[in-house]
């Protein structure tokens, strides 16, 4: 599927640079296939996805779980970070710095920023149950509210309507296009890949993508670009 299938937001749009972390094998496969795997709500790292509200009443818990199941049947999520420098992102999502981070330009209007909170939020669930309909604004708020312990991710999300499953994997994918435009391929500090390994995986469409290598910063707890030419040239693939 294409990102444009998620909604009609494409008039004049401004792009935002976002980053997606992956283990090496998955990243190289995505580069070859020119797509990203769409995450499903029930398969994401945080089991509290869409459950950020205070749920003392058993009926309320059942209602919200039903709401989550309904959304999961229709929508998936593309998850990104606003920055690639945090070492925990590489540790948790890019195979302990052996993996790859892909940088994309996406339409800013499609991006929803995640808000982080210490306490579960409250709202009138009884009123929602009485209405008998799904509140889209409430759904978006729940989809973009997470516990503050995840704040380091600096996450943004794009909702994607589910199309056809991939017949080989059973997963849903979103294709690269001008609305999911690949711009950077960033190799982890422990990656053993060369520029040529990455260049071979890129299609003709992506030959001008910038490929860089990272290292651990010398004076801060951060990941930075490797600029030592003898270690890695960090130039574009074109």
Tell me if 217 is assigned to some domain: no
Distance separating alpha carbons of residues 173 and 153, to the nearest angstrom: 22
**Residue 44's domain spans which residues?**
3-189
Tell me if 206 is assigned to some domain: no
Mean local confidence (pLDDT), 45-68: 79
Residues 98 and 106 sit within 8 Å (Cβ to Cβ): no
Give the model's confidence band at 214: pLDDT under 50 very low, under 70 low, under 90 confident, else very high: very high
Tell me if 126 is assigned to some domain: yes
Mean pLDDT, the chain, rounded, equals 86
Tell me if 8 is assigned to some domain: yes
pLDDT tens readout for residues 111-150: 999 999 998 877 666 666 666 555 667 778 888 999 999 9
96-110, 115-129, 161-175: lowest mean pLDDT where?
115-129
Distance separating alpha carbons of residues 212 and 189, to the nearest angstrom: 10
Q: Is the pLDDT of residue 54 over 90?
A: no
Q: What is the 3-state secondary structure (H, E, C) of 133-191?
A: CCCHHHHHHHHCEEEHHHHHHCEEEEEEECCCCCCCCCCCEEECECCEEEEEEEECCCC
What SS3 class is residue 235? Answer: coil
Tell me if 224 is assigned to some domain: no
Mean local confidence (pLDDT), 184-206: 94
Query: What total of structural domains would you count in the chain?
Result: 1
| 204 vs 124, higher pLDDT | 204
Tell me if 173 is assigned to some domain: yes
Q: Is the pLDDT of residue 184 over 60?
A: yes
Tell me if 203 is assigned to some domain: no
> What is the per-residue pLDDT for 6?
46
| 184 vs 10, higher pLDDT | 184
Q: Is the pLDDT of residue 81 over 70?
A: yes
Distance separating alpha carbons of residues 164 and 48, to the nearest angstrom: 27
Tell me if 53 is assigned to some domain: yes
- DSSP code per residue over 71-140: HHHHEEEEEEES-S--HHHHHHHTTTTTSEEEEEEEEGGG-EEPEEESS-B---HHHHHHHTS--HHHHH
What is the number of alpha carbons within 13 Å of residue 15 lying toward its C-beta? 13
| 10 vs 59, higher pLDDT | 59
């Amino acid at each position: 599927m294409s990102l444009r299938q998620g909604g009609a937001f494409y008039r004049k749009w401004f792009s935002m640079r976002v980053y997606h972390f992956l283990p090496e094998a998955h990243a190289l496969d995505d580069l070859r296939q020119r797509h990203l795997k769409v995450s499903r709500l029930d398969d994401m790292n945080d089991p509290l996805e869409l459950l950020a509200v205070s749920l003392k009443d058993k009926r309320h818990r059942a209602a919200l779980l039903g709401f989550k199941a309904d959304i999961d049947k229709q929508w998936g999520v593309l998850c990104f970070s606003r920055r690639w420098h945090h070492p925990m992102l590489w540790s948790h999502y890019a195979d302990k710095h052996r993996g790859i981070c892909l940088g994309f330009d996406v339409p800013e209007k499609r991006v929803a920023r995640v808000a982080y909170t210490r306490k579960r939020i409250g709202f009138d669930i009884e009123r929602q149950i009485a209405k008998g309909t799904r509140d889209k604004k409430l759904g978006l708020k729940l989809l973009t509210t997470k516990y503050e312990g995840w704040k380091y991710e600096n996450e943004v999300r794009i909702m994607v309507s589910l199309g056809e499953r991939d017949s080989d994997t059973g997963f849903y994918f979103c294709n690269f296009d001008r609305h999911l435009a690949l711009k950077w391929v960033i190799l982890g500090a422990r990656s053993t890949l060369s520029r040529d390994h990455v260049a071979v995986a890129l299609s003709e469409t992506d030959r001008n993508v910038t490929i860089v290598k990272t290292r651990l910063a010398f004076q801060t707890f951060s990941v930075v670009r490797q600029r030592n030419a003898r270690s890695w040239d960090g130039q574009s693939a074109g």
